[in-house]
């Protein structure tokens, strides 16, 4: 799907007020998320060593941006997410169960195959990670964390609408989360694609968490791609909100309880990625040297779009766009940053 602007769309805020509002909502959301999940802000790398195994390979086909370093024989890659780095950081920093970290993550997705209203070459998100106990590795705990994240987003919307009255024309996001397993969703709509299932289900329920992403379903296909070495495919999922401006689902977060030794061993084999076992990070995890954690990423630009009623992600972030996107936005009077 290419970029499109709904008929009659007009930004609720000026460009100046939009910039101010983005800054404010980010501070509000960070503070609320940190309070609910007991997280502490840390600094994070923009790039990591290519041979470390720390970088996230996402669905397995995206090429990270790589470069060499003068006066060094090491090669570096711009991070695609910080899923593995955060777990190592929690070990190095001496955190204990019940506490975690969050940080800004900026990435370049050079292989993003479609640039549309929600997808950009530039990715900005809050990456967070928290140490848990063995007894927390279950879906009930996962659901409780999802509800905390949704609460933080909804609380931020309430405050933003109080400060910017023009935003009150947007409907309140639904605080009640509807949880559904990806297999149950496929059983409900067997003739639809995963994205079509997400759209119809989120339109009906408003706020949704789809559980169990990465493993193959009865159809032989996964609901969506997920690397085998960070999320446990049985204990993860995606948070989606209904976006009234675009009349579609908006995925805000991919998250989950992370793999332990047993689940990573199984998933590496299922994914045909046994060669990763020799990488430093994977050796540490398989030998039980890393803490058990839960974590994920929360899209900063998408949260900004949702709470400010924007039709295109380019209204809240600066990136590079294809000619079709630029023409569509110019025709509709939408200014891209």
> The domain that contains 282 carries what CATH number?
3.30.930.10
The mean pLDDT of 82-102, rounded to a whole number, is 92
Question: For the residues 105-134, what does the mean pLDDT come to?
Answer: 87
Half-sphere exposure of 22 (CA within 13 A, CB side): 21
How many C-beta atoms lie closer than 10 Å to residue 168's C-beta? 12
Whether residue 1 lies inside any domain: the answer is no
Q: Give mean pLDDT, residues 254-260.
A: 95
The two tokens of residue 210 are: 């789809």
Flag whether 251 is in a domain: yes
DSSP 225: -
Residue 149 lies in a domain: yes
Asked, for residue 300, whether it belongs to a domain, the answer is: yes
Number of domains, the chain: 1
User: Is residue 120 predicted with pLDDT exceeding 80?
Assistant: yes
Distance CA 319, CA 301 (A): 11
Is residue 3 situated within a structural domain?
Answer: no
How much of the chain exceeds pLDDT 90, in percent? 63
Nearest to 27 by CA among 131, 119, 122, 104: 104
Render pLDDT for 210-248 as a digit per residue (tens, 0 to 9).
Answer: 999 999 999 988 898 888 888 999 999 999 999 999 999
- Residues labelled as active-site residues: 56, 109, 125, 238, 251, 254
Q: How far is CA 95 from CA 40, 41, 286, 316, in A?
A: 10, 13, 20, 34
> Please, which pLDDT band fits residue 325 given cuts at 50, 70 and 90?
confident
For the chain, give the number of residues.
337
User: pLDDT tier at 114 (50, 70, 90 boundaries)?
Assistant: confident
Q: What pLDDT, on the 0 to 100 scale, is given for residue 60?
A: 61
pLDDT higher than 60, residue 327: yes
Q: Mean pLDDT across the stretch 175-202?
A: 95
- Average pLDDT score over residue span 61-85: 82
- End-to-end, the C-alpha distance of the chain in Å comes to 21
Residue with tokens 């910039």: 19
Residue 10 lies in a domain: no
User: Are the C-beta atoms of residues 304 and 22 closer than 8 Å to each other?
Assistant: yes
In the prediction, which pLDDT does 57 show? 66
Domain range for 236 = 15-332
With respect to residue 8, please indicate whether it lies within any of the assigned structural domains: no
Tell me if 220 is assigned to some domain: yes
Residue 41 pLDDT class (50, 70, 90 cuts): very high
Q: What is the mean pLDDT of the segment spanning 309-315?
A: 91
Where is 16: in which H helix or E strand? helix 15-37
């Amino acid at each position: 799907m290419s970029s499109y602007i709904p008929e009659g769309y007009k930004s609720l805020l000026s460009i100046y007020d939009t910039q101010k509002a983005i800054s404010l909502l980010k501070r509000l959301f960070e503070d609320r998320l940190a309070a609910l999940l007991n997280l502490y802000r840390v600094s994070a790398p923009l790039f990591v060593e290519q041979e470390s195994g720390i970088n996230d390979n996402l669905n397995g086909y995206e090429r990270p941006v790589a470069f060499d370093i003068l006066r060094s024989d090491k090669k570096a890659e711009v991070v695609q997410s910080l899923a593995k780095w955060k777990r190592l950081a929690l070990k190095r920093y001496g955190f204990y169960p019940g506490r975690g970290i969050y940080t800004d993550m900026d990435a370049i997705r050079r292989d993003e195959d479609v640039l549309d209203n929600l997808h950009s070459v530039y990715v900005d998100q809050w990456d967070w990670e928290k140490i848990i106990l063995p007894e927390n590795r279950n879906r009930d705990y996962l659901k409780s964390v999802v509800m905390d994240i949704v609460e933080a987003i909804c609380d931020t919307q309430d405050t933003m609408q109080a400060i910017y009255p023009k935003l009150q024309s947007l409907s309140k996001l639904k605080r009640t989360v509807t949880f559904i397993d990806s297999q149950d969703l496929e059983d409900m709509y067997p003739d639809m694609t995963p994205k079509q299932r997400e759209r119809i289900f989120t339109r009906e329920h408003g706020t949704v968490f789809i559980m169990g992403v990465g493993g193959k379903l009865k159809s032989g296909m996964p609901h969506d791609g997920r690397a085998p070495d960070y999320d446990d495919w049985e204990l993860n999922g995606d948070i989606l909100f209904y976006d009234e401006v675009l009349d579609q689902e908006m995925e805000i977060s991919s998250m989950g309880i992370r793999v332990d030794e047993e689940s990573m061993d199984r998933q590496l084999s299922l994914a045909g990625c046994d060669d990763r076992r020799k990488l430093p990070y994977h050796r540490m995890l398989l030998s039980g040297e890393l803490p058990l954690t839960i974590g994920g990423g929360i899209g900063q630009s998408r949260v900004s779009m949702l709470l400010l009623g924007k039709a295109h992600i380019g209204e809240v972030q600066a990136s590079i766009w294809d000619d079709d996107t630029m023409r569509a936005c110019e025709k509709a009077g939408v200014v891209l940053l």
